[in-house]
Structure 1
Amino acid sequence: MEVQESNLRPCPPLIVVSKIEVTDDKYKELIDSLPKEERFPPGLRKYQGFWQFQNAIPGVLAMKEDFKPRRDDVIVSSFPKSGTTWLKALTFTIMHRDKYTFSSHPLLKLNPHDCVPYIELHYALRDEQYLETLPSPRVLGMHVPYSLLSDSIKTSTCPIIHICRDPKDVIVSFWHMFKKFDGLMEPLSFKQTYELFCEGRVPTGPVCDHVLEYYTKSLSSPKKILILKYEEMLKDPTNGVVRIANFMGCPFSEEEIKSGLVEKIAEFCSFNELKNFDTKQSEGNIKSYYYRKGIAGDWQNYMTPEMANKLDEITKEKLCDSSFTF
């Protein structure tokens, strides 16, 4: 079925789940029993090893119980602020490259998060039926740890593409994003954010545990999970485009490669282009928080050497039993 732009609609930012009132007795008793972290507004709960916005947990649980992927779905996954928006733009554009020209592409009018909706968000909002209105093949996103996925996703043939990033840059991007949610949550200082991040007490954290679950599974199921590193994608985006297309099962033809389509997609979905699209869509759009600098190494402008070394040691300790490195 051909994707129509009319099937897509603006998606609220994932942060809105923090303000949803949990009234469903099915989950309320469980949620109230979970460990709580009040230093991160508006409050987190720890569920099966991962901290979540308290009011996001019903969406995660409902997704785990009820979501049934289609055979041709593609799922993009990440820890927040690890290159999610970029990966969504790339996967959507690659998947539907035969349906849209660059001059009439949905990304010119819609944010990548509108084109690739978060599964858990729509379940949290009790709007999961929207996902069923999207024609196949769907590209869907999530920030859910692998251990919290439904068995239907784990045993399905739909590929999962997971992008990860140096935790030091994740913290900086994380802090800047949450600073912009005026009225939705009280802002934290960078030092407060850093301390909570080091403790793993941030939404979907700890970050290393989150990434390691996907990485470990990718070792035994390389056709199921593709791990992408943000920094490697920055250095060679065209190679990243080819890897994504091959993994999704829609490799570029020789004709497409010769025509320069790979490079055109990489440029069309580049940080500067996506930020430019977003600016044109609506001045002051709340979704401008998705874009800041899009570079590697910006942590050096915010952390002291001591702070960076501490986080590097925490990361090294977490990863010591694996072959993974950021």
Structure 2
Amino acid sequence: MENDESVLRRKLEMVCGVPLFWSTVEEWAQVESFQARPDDLLISTYPKSGVAQLDKMPSPRLAKTHLPVQLLPDSFWENNCKIIYVARNAKDVAVSYYHFYQMAKMHPEPGTWDEFLEKFVTGEVAFGSWYDHVKGWWEKRKDKPILYLFYEDMKEDPKREIQKVLQFLGKDLKEDVVNKILHHTSFQEMQKNPTANYKMVPKAQMDHSVSPFMRKGTAGDWKNHFTVAQNEAFDSDYKEKMKGSTLQFRTEI
């Protein structure tokens, strides 16, 4: 990737009303025509929602996406592929995404925290509205083989959540294997793993001195960033946008 403004910090482009990276839009025909196989496993999240913890799970071919449900290639639905969706509370996602925008220069300039939070709330960030994303996948689970997990639950009791994944995949692993998975998918281990922490990406593209790709991995860090006024405004807007949904999140554990 070239280190210049023609490639880095470019504006997002729209696909069916969803803002995406220019590079994704250029290859959109290939994305749309992707041919899933019936035994593929798809892991889907809104960005900065903790998907890396599932990477080492036993599976057939593994695909990952941040796409909202309406933009997923049709072949996944046609082949009835199993999908694991991981959702994280909006406030922590906003904070984590802000730091990611700062260090990962494929994003547009994030501006100040206050400016970025406004963009997040209005869905003017890569992959669009968090609210639409989590609600869309939540509704889709009613008629498709989707296991919907929560980041906060994974932090609280990772073994319990791994057992949910194993049951969903029809896998029965010995206790020692499960414990190895727990160890290697812990935040501390993943943070040290060069295949997970993106430390091999050139600094011109991802500046880890600004913020590491895997920053804290906690639930509740939003309290260190939101002002009282921001929190009140966010809560009011959140209540309106999530009205009518049975989807509920914990903002701390």
The 8 Å contact of residues 100 and 213 in structure 2, kept in 1 or not, is answered as yes
Find the partner of 1:242 among 153, 163, 167.
Answer: 163
Change in CA separation of 1:311 and 1:74 when aligned onto 2, cut-off 3 Å: same
Letter in 1 for 2:159: T
Gap regions ≥5 residues in structure 2: none
The 8 Å contact of residues 79 and 210 in structure 1, kept in 2 or not, is answered as yes
The alignment yields a C-alpha RMSD, in angstroms, of 2.6
The 8 Å contact of residues 43 and 63 in structure 2, kept in 1 or not, is answered as yes
Aligned to 1:71: 38
- Larger gyration radius, structure 1 or structure 2: 1
The 8 Å contact of residues 41 and 83 in structure 2, kept in 1 or not, is answered as yes
Letter in 2 for 1:19: V
The 8 Å contact of residues 11 and 107 in structure 2, kept in 1 or not, is answered as no
The 8 Å contact of residues 19 and 184 in structure 1, kept in 2 or not, is answered as no
Q: TM-score, normalised by structure 1?
A: 0.66
Aligned to 2:117: 194
Change in CA separation of 1:173 and 1:273 when aligned onto 2, cut-off 3 Å: same
Q: What whole-Å deviation, never above 9, does each CA across 1:115-141 have from its counterpart, x for those lacking one?
A: xxxxxxxxxxxxxxxxxxxxxx21110
Aligned to 1:166: 89
Change in CA separation of 1:285 and 1:51 when aligned onto 2, cut-off 3 Å: closer
Change in CA separation of 1:61 and 1:280 when aligned onto 2, cut-off 3 Å: closer
Change in CA separation of 1:60 and 1:213 when aligned onto 2, cut-off 3 Å: farther
The 8 Å contact of residues 75 and 159 in structure 1, kept in 2 or not, is answered as yes
The 8 Å contact of residues 60 and 144 in structure 1, kept in 2 or not, is answered as no
Structure 1: 4+ residue segments shifted above 6 A: 279-284
The answer to whether 1:264 aligns with 2:209 is no
Aligned to 1:213: 136
Change in CA separation of 1:44 and 1:281 when aligned onto 2, cut-off 3 Å: closer
The 8 Å contact of residues 200 and 207 in structure 1, kept in 2 or not, is answered as yes
Gap regions ≥5 residues in structure 1: 1-11, 13-17, 21-40, 97-136
The 8 Å contact of residues 171 and 194 in structure 1, kept in 2 or not, is answered as yes
Query: What count of residue pairs does the alignment treat as equivalent?
Result: 238
Aligned to 1:53: 21
Aligned to 1:94: 57
Shift of 1:190: 1.1
Change in CA separation of 1:183 and 1:159 when aligned onto 2, cut-off 3 Å: closer
The answer to whether 1:226 aligns with 2:147 is yes
Q: Helix, strand or coil: the match of 2:194?
A: helix
The 8 Å contact of residues 51 and 206 in structure 1, kept in 2 or not, is answered as no
Give the Cα–Cα distance (whole angstroms) in 2 for the partners of residues 190 and 266 of structure 1: 34
Aligned to 2:229: 306
Residue range with higher mean Cα deviation, 70-79 or 243-252: 243-252
Q: Helix, strand or coil: the match of 1:94?
A: coil
Shift of 1:205: 1.3
Give the Cα–Cα distance (whole angstroms) in 2 for the partners of residues 67 and 165 of structure 1: 27
Within a 5 Å distance, the mapping from 1:108-187 to structure 2 comes to: 137-181=60-104, 185-187=108-110
Change in CA separation of 1:276 and 1:71 when aligned onto 2, cut-off 3 Å: same
Q: Helix, strand or coil: the match of 1:212?
A: helix
Give the Cα–Cα distance (whole angstroms) in 2 for the partners of residues 272 and 171 of structure 1: 22
The 8 Å contact of residues 40 and 62 in structure 2, kept in 1 or not, is answered as yes
Shift of 1:283: 6.4
Give the Cα–Cα distance (whole angstroms) in 2 for the partners of residues 152 and 279 of structure 1: 28
The 8 Å contact of residues 77 and 143 in structure 1, kept in 2 or not, is answered as yes
The 8 Å contact of residues 40 and 82 in structure 2, kept in 1 or not, is answered as yes
Q: Helix, strand or coil: the match of 1:42?
A: coil
